[in-house]
């Protein structure tokens, strides 16, 4: 595929990923819709400002709310006088919002903080933020894919924008690498949209609800931006249980498609303390083997896939041999077994983006190896998806999955 850049240069590429923001030129050229709404009246003025040293404590974020609006100031790390400024806009006699300016910032600062306007000594990078709630109806068109704000924009409540975009890239990156290396079929890229589009829909719903709650809270004494934060805004409870890459199975609270839990453990060879997340870190697929009955699977996986797959034998307390398998872990206090809810001999396959792909008892030896071939073997991947794109099929699957596994409202509308 030939790619032309704005400066007149060009290159050839097998795939293109458009990460060019809410006004994405790539998305527009593809003809991908970006449906939703803009709340024209819900807007803020923003900028980087300078404030006289000593006037405000730089160890905290300051916020002033009253019936006429708000001013929020966050110290910019690495500076002595720099602050990130947000407030409601000034308005003219007819109620129309005015463009941000240094003098306007000073007036708003004095009105809401009751501090002298002259303490705000400078302002740069002025902008106006309007609440947009929109998402793309597709993440892939042939060999062109979209990620980040090019596919979803939403209210800033909860601070989910950057994290959601990073998770898009994390999900797509390893899949694209597998395809480019010839380790998986092109159809693996379809699972990017299958998994991430519903998460974007859930994010739009959550942030809209959190914005509503925050706007309501700040009208009352003591209300503040902390209202936007809930356990769900961490995003850590989001997984892909509905995905075609999530094999049926799981124990306790962890099922295929969920984020892989962390747990403290020890290096079985040295006894040094470590954590599961350190083992998972990197571009590899990880296979955890709990119990002696899993060692055959671990050996075959290592032999078939080389350094693409990291195999890790997890020994229970009192069962670590004098010569443990290379890279093995010692689950001294049973934290790893508890985290994954496993009992007996169990194999857990974890994808490079730290999501569980498969949880199987030792009797499922063949299933684990077949699943690894799907993630790291182009011929098996072709058989899995019938050698062609399955966009329509995965959308139907989303509609049919149990309510507890499907993210929510926007997702149901966008895949219908």
Average pLDDT over residues 266-286: 95
Locate 31 and state its tokens: 């003809």
pLDDT in tens, 169-195: 999 999 999 999 999 999 999 999 999
Strands 309-316 and 285-290: parallel
Report how far residue 260's alpha carbon sits from residue 257's, in angstroms, rounded to the nearest whole number: 9
Report how far residue 276's alpha carbon sits from residue 165's, in angstroms, rounded to the nearest whole number: 25
The residue behind tokens 């306790």 is 252
Contacts for 227-233: CB closer than 8 Å, 24+ residues apart: 228/157, 228/158, 228/159, 229/158, 230/158, 232/206, 233/158, 233/159, 233/160, 233/206
Q: Where are the beta strands (DSSP E) in 317-409?
A: 329-331, 346-350, 356-361
Q: Can you tell me whether residue 44 is helix, strand or coil?
A: strand
Q: Can you tell me whether residue 156 is helix, strand or coil?
A: coil
Output the DSSP codes for 339-382: HHT--SSEEEEE-TTSBEEEEEEGGGHHHHHHHHHHHS-HHHHH
pTM of the model: 0.83
Residue 309 DSSP code: E
pLDDT above 90 for 218: no
Cβ atoms of 133 and 200 closer than 8 Å = no
Q: Which residues fall within 8 angstroms of residue 370, CB to CB, at 6 or more apart? A: 380
**Which pLDDT belongs to residue 391?**
39
Q: Can you tell me whether residue 121 is helix, strand or coil?
A: strand
pLDDT above 50 for 412: no
pLDDT above 80 for 340: yes
238: pLDDT confidence band, cut at 50, 70 and 90? confident
**Which pLDDT belongs to residue 399?**
29
315: pLDDT confidence band, cut at 50, 70 and 90? very high
Residue 208's closest CA among 149, 152, 264, 258?
Answer: 152
Report how far residue 396's alpha carbon sits from residue 377's, in angstroms, rounded to the nearest whole number: 26
Rg (C-alpha) for the chain, rounded Å, is 25
Report how far residue 324's alpha carbon sits from residue 253's, in angstroms, rounded to the nearest whole number: 29
Angle at 36 between CA 31 and CA 37, to 5 degrees: 130
pLDDT in tens, 38-68: 877 778 899 999 999 999 999 999 989 877 7
Structural domains in the chain plus CATH codes: 2-33+137-234 (3.50.50.60), 39-130 (3.30.70.2450), 250-387 (3.40.30.10)
Report how far residue 213's alpha carbon sits from residue 241's, in angstroms, rounded to the nearest whole number: 29
Output the DSSP codes for 144-209: EEE-GGGTEE---TTS-HHHHHHHHHHHHHHHHHHHHTTSS-GGGGHHHHHHHHHHHHHHHHHHHH
What's the chain's average pLDDT? Answer: 87
Number of Cβ atoms within 10 Å of the Cβ of 252: 13
Residue 80's closest CA among 116, 55, 110, 105?
Answer: 55
Report how far residue 147's alpha carbon sits from residue 330's, in angstroms, rounded to the nearest whole number: 39
**Which pLDDT belongs to residue 251?**
67
Task: Give the lowest-confidence range in 157-166, 297-306, 307-316.
Answer: 157-166
Average pLDDT over residues 332-349: 94
**Which pLDDT belongs to residue 406?**
55
Report how far residue 220's alpha carbon sits from residue 328's, in angstroms, rounded to the nearest whole number: 55
**Which pLDDT belongs to residue 404?**
46
pLDDT in tens, 368-408: 999 999 999 844 444 444 444 433 333 333 323 334 455 55
Residue 353 DSSP code: T
416: pLDDT confidence band, cut at 50, 70 and 90? very low
Cβ atoms of 136 and 165 closer than 8 Å = no
264: pLDDT confidence band, cut at 50, 70 and 90? very high
**Which pLDDT belongs to residue 231?**
80
């Amino acid at each position: 595929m030939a790619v032309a850049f704005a400066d007149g240069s060009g290159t050839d590429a097998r795939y293109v990923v458009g990460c060019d923001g809410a006004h994405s030129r790539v998305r527009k050229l593809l003809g991908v819709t970006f449906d939703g709404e803009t709340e024209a009246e819900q807007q803020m003025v923003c900028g980087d400002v300078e404030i006289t040293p000593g006037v405000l404590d730089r160890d905290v974020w300051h916020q002033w709310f009253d019936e006429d609006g708000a001013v929020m100031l966050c110290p910019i790390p690495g500076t002595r006088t720099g602050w990130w400024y947000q407030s409601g806009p000034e308005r003219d006699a007819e109620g129309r919002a005015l463009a941000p300016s240094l003098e306007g910032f000073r007036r708003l600062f004095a009105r809401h903080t009751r501090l002298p306007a002259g303490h705000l000594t400078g302002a740069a990078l002025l902008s106006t933020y309007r609440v947009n709630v929109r998402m793309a109806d597709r993440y892939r068109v042939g060999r062109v894919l979209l990620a980040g704000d090019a596919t979803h924009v939403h209210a800033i409540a909860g601070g989910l924008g950057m994290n959601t975009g990073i998770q898009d890239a994390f999900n797509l990156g390893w899949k694209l690498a597998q395809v480019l290396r010839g380790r998986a079929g092109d159809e693996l890229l379809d699972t990017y949209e299958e998994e991430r589009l519903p998460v974007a829909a859930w994010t739009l719903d959550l942030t809209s609800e959190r914005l509503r709650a925050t706007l309501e809270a700040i009208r009352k004494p003591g209300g503040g931006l902390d209202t936007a934060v809930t356990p769900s805004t961490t995003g850590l409870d989001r997984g892909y249980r509905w995905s075609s890459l999530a094999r049926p199975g799981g124990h306790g609270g962890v099922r295929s498609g969920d984020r892989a839990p962390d747990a403290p453990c020890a290096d079985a060879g040295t006894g040094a303390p470590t954590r599961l997340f350190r083992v998972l870190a990197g571009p590899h697929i990880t296979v955890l083997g709990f119990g002696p009955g899993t060692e055959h699977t671990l050996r075959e996986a290592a032999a078939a896939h080389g350094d693409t797959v990291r195999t890790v034998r997890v020994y229970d307390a009192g069962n670590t041999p004098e010569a443990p398998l290379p890279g093995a872990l010692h689950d001294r206090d049973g934290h790893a077994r508890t985290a994954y809810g496993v009992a007996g001999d169990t194999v857990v396959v974890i994808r490079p983006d730290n999501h569980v792909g498969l949880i199987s008892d030792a009797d499922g030896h063949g299933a684990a190896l077949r699943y690894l071939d799907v993630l790291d073997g182009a011929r098996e991947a072709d058989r899995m998806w019938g050698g062609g794109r399955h966009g329509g099929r995965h959308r139907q699957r989303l509609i049919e999955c149990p309510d507890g596994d499907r993210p929510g409202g926007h997702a149901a509308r966008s895949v219908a």
